[in-house]
Amino acid sequence: MKVMKFGGGCLCSVSDFLKVVEIVKNEKDDCVLVVSAVNGITNELLNGIEFAQKSESNIEPIIQNIRKKHREFADEIITNDIIRQEVIDTLDIKIVKLERLLYGIAFTEEVTDSVKMHILSFGERLAAILLAGVLNDKNHVALAFEADTIGIITDSCFENATANISVVKKNLKQKLLPKIQKGITPIITGYFGCSENNKITTFGRNGSDYSATVVACGLEAETIILWKNVDGFMSADPTIVKTAKKINQLSYYEAAELAYFGAKILHPRALEPLIDSKINVTIRNFSQPQNEGTIILSKFEKSKPSIKSVTYNNNIAVLRIQGPGVGFKPGIIGDIGNLLAKIDVNIYSIITSQTCINLLINPNDSQKSYKVITDLIGDTIQNITLEEDISLIGIVGEGLMKTSGMAANVFTAVAQKGINIEMISAGASEIAYYFIVRRKDVKETVKAIHNCLF
């Protein structure tokens, strides 16, 4: 069995939908599809939430745009009158529910996390219905399934949820395997699941990648193909380094580190569900399906040390907590972590010294983190500062820590460009180390390191 995920970039036009049909019909294995929203629809939904809070008069244009886009696809692609009408009717039922939720926001003039996530899930719900109809019209039996109704159960974190794999396995095998055995291709909504108390939760940016690995793990699939608009992972961002090369193979851990460090090609947590599995993941270019792409291997044969990529993350901030002995006194880091956990702030990394604790966090969380940590100022913690004009540079590769002289070469190359490295972390992982520079220096830093390593 094979799980294939099609993102919004694969659902932009009539030709894209027909290409999906061609890919699916050419597969010899049983397939399960995971889909994102049609390109641009999630932004429409975000606008709908924002505009509905201002005035109910803003809702109808948003609803009409969403209805029009999906109906035009149905009208242009689906030739069978009965199938087309069934698809349009089903889409309309969903869109009416969406409309009611938006009017609820307008009337209350507020939006809860639960309602926001529910609204954002409609892009995937509509896409699954539409793609299933297209496949059925082209003589390939398919059926749309919504993540919350088939039991993709998560914790209660609304925007960065984690699936309960043991429960998901039980639910998917019960609800999907009988359909697959009958020759039906399930089309599953990506991006979201639901908590145990039936609240919609989402998996964040590129969340459908995570959905695909959860589904594959739940169904014990042999392989996963993530269809993207790029060939695969690269040795650097090709918009910065013109000579960047495609990476043919990565280990789970290398790919996970690259995603963590900012490579937007993959959800940062997409490989979590697969760590104890034997499922390989391949990233393929939707525009050039004949290309092999990057394969992420569950079992990676370690050979000589190899640096795979240099990447960067501009979406980072540092909270510096200073005071004599803050890095030594027991309980300080625990107190800080507990305070931030209560306001749903994820700490990317912690770098400590005797007099300073540095927390790497998301800039969206920086102000509320700064505010809550100030409550700890006293004898031990004397000063807290926030740095936001920074970027994280990561270097990833198996055996990196065992390669003598690597750090010296890298930092010499950066220093020769007159760039100051403000913070370094090494040793937390055998396959990665990272450091921080000013955001204005990111491009030159990446170029210098890539030229040095490759």
pLDDT digit string, tens, across residues 54-81: 999 999 999 999 999 999 999 999 999 9
CATH number, domain of 219, equals: 3.40.1160.10
- Choose one of 216, 248, 270: the last residue of a domain: 270
In a domain, 84, yes or no: yes
CATH number, domain of 411, equals: 3.30.2130.10
Cβ proximity of 217 and 211 under 8 Å: no
Encoded tokens for 316: 């980072």
Q: How many CA atoms lie within 13 A of 167 on its CB side?
A: 15
Please state the rounded mean pLDDT for residues 301-307. 67
Could you tell me the pTM of the whole model? 0.90
Share above pLDDT 90 across residues of the chain, in percent, rounded to a whole number? 73
How many secondary structure helices (H) and strands (E) does the chain include?
Answer: 14, 19
- Choose one of 221, 250, 270: the last residue of a domain: 270
Residues 177 and 46 in one domain: yes
In a domain, 249, yes or no: no
Share above pLDDT 70 across residues of the chain, in percent, rounded to a whole number? 98
In a domain, 7, yes or no: yes
In a domain, 304, yes or no: no
Looking at residue 206, its amino acid is N
Q: Are strands 356-361 and 317-322 parallel, antiparallel or unpaired?
A: antiparallel
Please state the rounded mean pLDDT for residues 32-39. 97
Please state the rounded mean pLDDT for residues 48-55. 95
Inter-helix orientation angle 207-219/165-175, to 10°: 70
Residues 78 and 188 in one domain: yes
Given a cut of 90, is residue 376 above it in pLDDT? no
Residues 112 and 201 in one domain: yes
In a domain, 282, yes or no: no
Residue 104: pLDDT band by 50, 70, 90 thresholds? Answer: very high
Residues 130 and 38 in one domain: yes
Encoded tokens for 133: 């109809």
Largest CA distance in the chain: 75
In a domain, 258, yes or no: no
Residues 210 and 314 in one domain: no
What is the total count of domains within the chain? 2
In a domain, 276, yes or no: no
Residues 225 and 348 in one domain: no
Residues 417 and 324 in one domain: yes
Residues 214 and 344 in one domain: no
Q: Give percent helix, percent strand, percent coil of the chain, each to the nearest 5.
A: 45, 20, 35
Encoded tokens for 137: 């019209």
Higher pLDDT, 345 or 380: 345
Range of the domain at 66: 2-230+265-270
In a domain, 56, yes or no: yes
Check residue 58 and give its pLDDT.
94
CA distance to 161, 205, 360, per residue, from 167 (Å): 15, 24, 33
